[in-house]
Structure 1
Amino acid sequence: MLTKEEQLDVHLPEHVVLNILCRLPLKSLIRFTCVSKRWRSLIISDPQFANSHFRLAASQLRRNVLISTHPIFISEGTLGTTHTMLPSRFHSLDDNFSVRSLTFPSVPNRDIVVMGSCNGLVVLGKFYRHALVPLGQLYCDYYKTLGIWNPSTGFFRNVPSPSFQIGMIKLTDEKKERHMSCVYYGFGQVSASGDYKFVVIPNFGGFMEVQVFSVRANCWKVVKAPYLSPYRLWSKQWGTYSNGAVHWVSHREPGIFEPSVYAFDLASEEFREMPLPVLSHNEDYVKMTQVRTPVLVGGCLCVMFQDFDECSEFWAMKEYGVAASWVKLFRFNVRDLPDVFAPFFSCYYWDPIFIAEDGTVVIKLHKKKELVRIKCHKEEKPVCTKRYGLEEVPGCKCLFDASLYDETLVSVPE
């Protein structure tokens, strides 16, 4: 009596089976892990098969939104109000705004946040986002439970915590009482080598050092970086990955600085400044209050501008690094959708999570705890097509984050 695996071998040669499986959607492959132990090992654990599937499916990848919620239980007692952080929860939102729960592979932890995403791999960490740390205390204490997770397959790999001792030594030598005002981070792939790198840049109030974790080498190292002005804080902590580099955009200070996009090349481990598009009217630069690098369109770097009139413009760099290749995608005014944005029109209260060239924008509304899909056309008013609201938990308030990730089989071996 032949086993299932032997029957498969009789009917189809190995290379034919692999070629067929590599061309199937991820949802079907996950279902087929029940066929046999061999298929399960191939689909879940074989990095070569995962990379082959990723290359063939790259143009048809499903892009989902990863929602992470951080419940805080509020209780009243004789000593006053207490706040208790509950374990973080994760959900996936697909194209149709259908939601499914995700099982976090490690032990439940509080305040686990998403710190980067690339090729279906997500970097997670326990990070105290608003803590001020006194001089002399190691900042590595503020990065706990770092790991790389594939929400589609459940793959998880621990990442050792970084050490910021070099920065602390410098500050101690200078005898300056300083706090860590902000930390920037990003995650991406070096295409030439296939290695993945996680970048952490703490701002020590005037001194910034760059720490890079190589997944392949499984170690951190400090990278010498040019002087980066601490007075031009970057608008988002999470850097945007595109074309082998992680990007952050600096805040603009009216009358002093024009905004700049800083790109950290993961291969050379060097910074460079990127050109921004020239807007239709020069006076618009005076009115711009926010500039961001929110998302990617087909791998292209994007920027979003917003002015005092609450108009937002989205641009894509069609040829990476070439200033003349910036193309305006569309422009819309949030006041054209009062039922969605009111009363929080300011860009500080919402973030674009996903942008497509056809004018589709998925937006996170911070105060309302909602995700909204909007359809924009160049000459027409935007239309809201889908909405998803975070479910309220009795006795709790919830913080939530949303980020884009691809459905892949990609993993990174130890």
Structure 2
Amino acid sequence: MTSKIKIPRKTKLATSAEVVNSIDDLLMQIFLCLPVKSLMCFKLVSKRWKSLITSPDFRLLRNPDPSAAVGLFYPVRKRCEFEYIHFDFKAPINPPFRKLNFPEEDSECFWISQSCNGLLVCCGSKGYMYKGSCYVYNPTTNCSTKLPLPGVMNGVPENVYGVNLAFDPAKSPLYKVVCVRDSEFAHGLFQIEIGIYSSETRTWQFCGEPFAAMVNFDKGVYWNGAIHWLGIGEGESLYFNIDNQVLDKMPMLPLRYHRNSRSDYFFGQSCGHLHFIETPCSTIQFDVYEMKRDYSEWFVKYQVNLTPVVAANREMIWGHINPMGWYNLVFSVFTVVRGEHEEDAFLVLQSPKKIIRYNLVRKTFESLSKFEDEVVRASLRYPGTSGFEYIKSLCCV
């Protein structure tokens, strides 16, 4: 007699679910190998594909924390234009950008105030206070959202001194915005308001008491769960912890020269490391400082000697060697980039004729880009500015 084996319906359902899950896992692995432009197209294939590509799990797998910058946006002479420089000078593929495409609305008046783990804060006016619109912009996806700044009267934010982004994709797909403005409760003091943004929630709330400060709130750097600001003149540097909502002081900056001397500074973070560099025009050697995570001190992470760089790029020398034996140099530090390995760390330098990549461990250097037009002798094409790092991100703004 032939016997028939009955398969329970539960088993069939479980098997079907496993098959579906295995297909999703396979699709995820395929998507991880694709360039960003292809992913943007594949989001339109179906709701299921869009859900996989935009999921927090996929975004984290695609851009593990911490993610290293792959390029830099820097301002050109024409107002509100930002060109792009790719860090991998040996890459055979075309770079993802040539110039930055801002949102179409009010595009002529936009400027970048901050780069934070793949997102940019773009504002509609440049100066001591914010008077125009502000956007959070993802250059990878070319998507943006407008920030409804607090304290708005007749469409214009009242005395907003800084708009800073706090975004850590390893912790949350959401970002927070820290706004520093005049206090409504005490004349002559500042007040911090923090905004928590998602597609569902857009709210502002006051944080802490009004306070006095001599700080450049326009140049905030997000690191270690906090926004950091450098002091102006004799002012103390501050940081604001996002989770604890506590404002505190940073250790004194490791300045070798007087605060009022003609010096340039770099202040920024890369791959979980906060850096500070003082680069006066009269030195060919300088240190790259790093802040300890417990805020106990700044320490020297790298020592830089630009002698071989200057020897190969004589346009960096201005005048003669000064009485102390130093060159008067013309250069600036665009950014410090850390990588997965220690030997991957490098500086991006600007000279009068080109942009240079200088390896901080191997002490080697290469030209990333040459300027097509000539600049005035002994001057920089982009004086008094730092670049804004580009990190690939699929974050939804």
Which of structures 1 and 2 has the larger relative contact order (alpha carbons within 8 angstroms, sep 6+)? 1
Instruction: Pick which of 307-316 and 199-208 moved more.
Output: 199-208
Identity %: 15
Mapped to 1, the partners of 2:282 and 2:70 lie a distance apart of: 31
Look up the match of 2:32.
Answer: 23
Q: 1:212 aligns with which of 181, 194, 199?
A: 194
Residue 404 of structure 1: how far off its partner (Å): 0.5
Cα-to-partner distance string for 1:91-143 (whole Å, 9 max, x where unaligned): 4322235553444343352221112222312121102325xxxxxxxx76x03
Look up the match of 2:206.
Answer: 222
Superposed counterparts of 1:239-250, under 5 Å: 239-250=220-231
Classify 1:106/1:207 alpha carbon distance in 2 versus 1 (closer, same or farther; 3 Å): same
Mapped to 1, the partners of 2:19 and 2:124 lie a distance apart of: 50
Residue 25 of structure 1: how far off its partner (Å): 5.3
Residue 362 of structure 1: how far off its partner (Å): 1.0
Mapped to 2, the partners of 1:373 and 1:70 lie a distance apart of: 22
Residue 351 of structure 1: how far off its partner (Å): 3.9
Q: 1:361 aligns with which of 347, 365, 388?
A: 347
Look up the match of 1:261.
Answer: 237
Q: Pick the structure with more strand per residue.
A: 1
Mapped to 2, the partners of 1:151 and 1:376 lie a distance apart of: 28
Residue 211 of structure 1: how far off its partner (Å): 3.0
Q: 2:140 aligns with which of 152, 168, 173?
A: 152
Which residue type is aligned with residue 109 of structure 1?
S
Is residue 143 from structure 1 mapped to residue 117 from structure 2 by the alignment? Answer: no
Look up the match of 2:392.
Answer: 407
Structure 2 unaligned residues grouped into runs of 5+: 1-17, 90-94, 320-326, 375-380
Is residue 316 from structure 1 mapped to residue 290 from structure 2 by the alignment? Answer: yes
Look up the match of 2:10.
Answer: none
TM-score normalised to the size of structure 1?
0.66
TM-score normalised to the size of structure 2?
0.68
Mapped to 2, the partners of 1:107 and 1:223 lie a distance apart of: 31
Do the aligned partners of 2:225 and 2:241 also contact (CA within 8 Å) in 1? yes
Residue 68 of structure 1: how far off its partner (Å): 4.6
Is residue 350 from structure 1 mapped to residue 323 from structure 2 by the alignment? Answer: no
Residue 51 of structure 1: how far off its partner (Å): 3.2
Mapped to 2, the partners of 1:27 and 1:195 lie a distance apart of: 20
1:323 alignment partner, SS class: coil
Cα-to-partner distance string for 1:118-170 (whole Å, 9 max, x where unaligned): 2312121102325xxxxxxxx76x032x22221111222222133267xx9xx
Do the aligned partners of 2:67 and 2:271 also contact (CA within 8 Å) in 1? no
Which residue type is aligned with residue 178 of structure 2?
V
Mapped to 2, the partners of 1:225 and 1:20 lie a distance apart of: 49
Do the aligned partners of 1:22 and 1:53 also contact (CA within 8 Å) in 2? no
Mapped to 2, the partners of 1:214 and 1:347 lie a distance apart of: 44
Mapped to 1, the partners of 2:203 and 2:372 lie a distance apart of: 37
Look up the match of 2:316.
Answer: 341
Do the aligned partners of 2:287 and 2:304 also contact (CA within 8 Å) in 1? yes
1:53 alignment partner, SS class: helix
Which residue type is aligned with residue 52 of structure 1?
L
Cα-to-partner distance string for 1:264-305 (whole Å, 9 max, x where unaligned): 1122222111225778xxxx4669955856222421111113
RMSD value, Cα: 4.4
Look up the match of 1:184.
Answer: 162
Structure 1 unaligned residues grouped into runs of 5+: 1-8, 73-87, 131-138, 172-179
Classify 1:49/1:322 alpha carbon distance in 2 versus 1 (closer, same or farther; 3 Å): closer
Greater Cα radius of gyration, structure 1 or 2: 2
Classify 1:371/1:408 alpha carbon distance in 2 versus 1 (closer, same or farther; 3 Å): same
Q: 1:36 aligns with which of 19, 29, 45?
A: 45
Look up the match of 2:14.
Answer: none
Look up the match of 2:59.
Answer: 51
Cα-to-partner distance string for 1:313-358 (whole Å, 9 max, x where unaligned): 10123x4124267342123358962635344998997343233354
Residue 403 of structure 1: how far off its partner (Å): 0.3
Residue 242 of structure 1: how far off its partner (Å): 0.8
Q: 1:300 aligns with which of 265, 273, 276?
A: 273
Mapped to 2, the partners of 1:127 and 1:295 lie a distance apart of: 22
2:56 alignment partner, SS class: helix
2:162 alignment partner, SS class: strand
Aligned length: 343
